[in-house]
């Protein structure tokens, strides 16, 4: 399950942000207006309202979504989130980001995303299973191993994927492991999937530090979010000799200029439910955490965390977006002008979808790889993709996000153009 800060809906609508980022890349690419019109819209948007019987016997109607942005390069791919403030605009933005993310790392998927408006923290395991199975049945008209392959996201996990896989398989009349990724190993999950987002992010941080001449040994790192991506990012950075000076979860942040041991923080969080209160740490707010004195900032929580209000106060030389959409377009410009090097989300956190792709391939072949093989293949993909984006950035003198979008949009546009307009 992904840890995250609370979504601040006083910030800009994520769909507006996503389309603005696309428009910037389309302008730089001098994209044909017809192609721009196609890629600027989502291909399919499904909204479902479905009843679930709660533990007190009452029936509650939930709203869910599944959006496919573009499937020119392959089946839709994207997570499913359970969150009380999920919205169609947010899901559309996340689906578009998935299209670019898959394209920037060169894996044969289009972008999709799903959500149910609910608070999983207040629901029993039985209620979550019932909700998941009914939601799966509602969106079954869109998903499938050759059509659209969900994965875990905020508020969902491997168990959620197991329920989706089982529900879909019951309808199909045979076991279909490849309908979802991020499953438990016992039913066709992949080695290395849990750490994949963080590992991919760290591979890009290593490449960026080479480019910047930044020594990771002793580099001060702040990680926002201590869920899957954040906790593994902190541990992997610590293994490289970096000093983790700040961490946070949904309850707040902690700081120690001399360093925090991510393994001890993890153990403390398992015991108490939060990183806050760790002995030897000072409590900080989420806003203070982002502005701590550091070399590398890893936002690993949720969108809309760095805006024009706090971007001028960020001290990091390198920002690595392990989360989706944490930085606004206004903040991007401020950070770029300050000389901050940004590894954008669609590149930085693409390790998760890359290993999801590996899992899907293994499921289709019924042939499974060792973790060392997966990590080596992941490194190859992330290093190559980072260098593709860096070269685009240097060639066109644009910041890394625009460069990543240019790489991705060009690839999706080429696929769309090559396939042609049906009929």
DSSP 360-378: HHHHHHT----HHHHHHHH
pLDDT tens readout for residues 380-419 = 999 999 999 999 999 999 889 999 999 999 999 999 999 9
| pLDDT, the chain, mean | 92
Angle, in degrees to the nearest 10, between helices 371-396 and 196-212: 40
Cβ neighbors of 408 (< 8 A, separation 6 or more) are: 25, 99, 100, 101, 103, 104, 346
How much is the average pLDDT of 52-62?
A: 91
299-325 pLDDT per residue, tens: 998 777 888 888 888 989 999 999 888
Q: Looking at residue 2, what is its pLDDT?
A: 39
Q: Could you tell me the fold of the domain covering 42-180?
A: Rossmann fold (3.40.50)
220-248: per-residue pLDDT in tens? 999 998 888 899 999 999 999 999 999 98
Number of other residues whose CB lies within 10 A of the CB of residue 239: 10
The pairing of strands 243-249 and 296-299 is unpaired
Stretch(es) of the chain classified as CATH 3.40.50.720: 196-348
Say which CATH architecture domain 196-348 belongs to.
3-Layer(aba) Sandwich (3.40)
Place of tokens 């240097």: 394
Q: What contacts 298, CB < 8 A, 6 or more positions away?
A: 201, 205, 221, 222, 223, 224, 230, 233, 234, 237, 319, 320, 321, 322
Is the C-alpha dihedral spanning 181, 186, 188, 190 positive or negative?
A: positive
Q: Is 113 a catalytic residue?
A: yes
In the chain, CATH 3.40.50.10860 sits at 42-180
Going by their DSSP bridges, the two strands 252-255 and 282-284 should be labelled as antiparallel
Q: pLDDT for 173-225, tens place per residue? A: 999 999 999 999 999 999 988 889 999 999 999 999 999 999 999 999 999 98
Tens digits of per-residue pLDDT, 409-423? Answer: 999 999 999 999 998
Which of 113, 235, 269, 317 is the catalytic position?
113
pTM check: above 0.95: no
CB 285 within 8 A of CB 252: yes
The answer to whether 305 and 323 are in contact (CB under 8 A) is yes
């Amino acid at each position: 399950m992904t840890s995250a800060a609370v979504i601040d809906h006083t910030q800009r609508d994520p769909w507006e942000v996503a389309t603005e980022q696309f428009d910037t890349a389309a302008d730089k690419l001098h994209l044909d207006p017809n192609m721009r019109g196609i890629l600027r819209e989502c291909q399919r948007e499904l909204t479902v309202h479905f009843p679930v019987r709660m533990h007190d016997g009452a029936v509650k109607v939930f709203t869910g979504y599944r959006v496919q942005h573009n499937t020119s390069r392959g089946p839709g791919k994207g997570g499913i989130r359970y969150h009380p403030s999920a919205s169609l605009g947010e899901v559309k933005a996340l689906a578009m980001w998935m299209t670019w993310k898959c394209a920037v790392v060169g894996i044969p998927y289009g972008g999709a995303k799903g959500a149910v408006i609910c608070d999983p923290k207040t629901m029993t395991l039985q209620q979550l299973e019932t909700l998941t199975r009914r939601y799966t049945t509602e969106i079954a008209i869109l998903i499938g191993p050759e059509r659209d392959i969900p994965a875990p996201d905020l508020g969902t996990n491997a168990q959620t994927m197991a329920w989706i896989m089982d529900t879909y398989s019951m309808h199909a009349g045979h076991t279909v492991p490849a309908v979802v990724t991020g499953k438990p190993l016992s039913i066709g999950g992949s080695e290395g999937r849990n750490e994949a987002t963080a590992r991919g992010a760290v591979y890009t941080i290593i490449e960026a530090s080479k480019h910047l001449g930044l020594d990771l040994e002793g580099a001060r790192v702040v990680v926002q979010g201590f869920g899957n991506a954040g906790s593994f990012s902190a541990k992997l950075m610590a293994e490289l000799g970096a000093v983790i000076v700040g961490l946070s979860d949904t309850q707040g942040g902690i700081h120690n200029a001399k360093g925090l041991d991510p393994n001890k923080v993890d153990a403390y969080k398992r015991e108490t439910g939060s990183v806050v209160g760790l002995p030897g740490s000072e409590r900080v707010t989420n806003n203070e955490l982002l502005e701590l004195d550091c070399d590398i900032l890893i936002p690993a929580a949720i969108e809309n965390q760095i805006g024009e209000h706090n971007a001028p106060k960020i001290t990091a030389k390198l920002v690595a977006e392990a989360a989706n959409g944490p930085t606004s377009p206004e903040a991007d410009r401020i950070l770029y002008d300050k000389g901050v090097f940004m590894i954008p989300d669609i590149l930085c956190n693409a390790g998760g979808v890359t290993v999801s792709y590996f899992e899907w391939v293994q499921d289709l072949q019924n042939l499974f790889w060792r973790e060392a093989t997966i990590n080596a293949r992941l490194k190859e993909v992330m290093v190559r993709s980072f260098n593709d984006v860096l070269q685009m950035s240097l060639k066109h003198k644009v910041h890394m996000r625009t460069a990543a979008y240019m790489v991705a949009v060009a690839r999706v546009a080429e696929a769309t153009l090559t396939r042609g307009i049906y009929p």
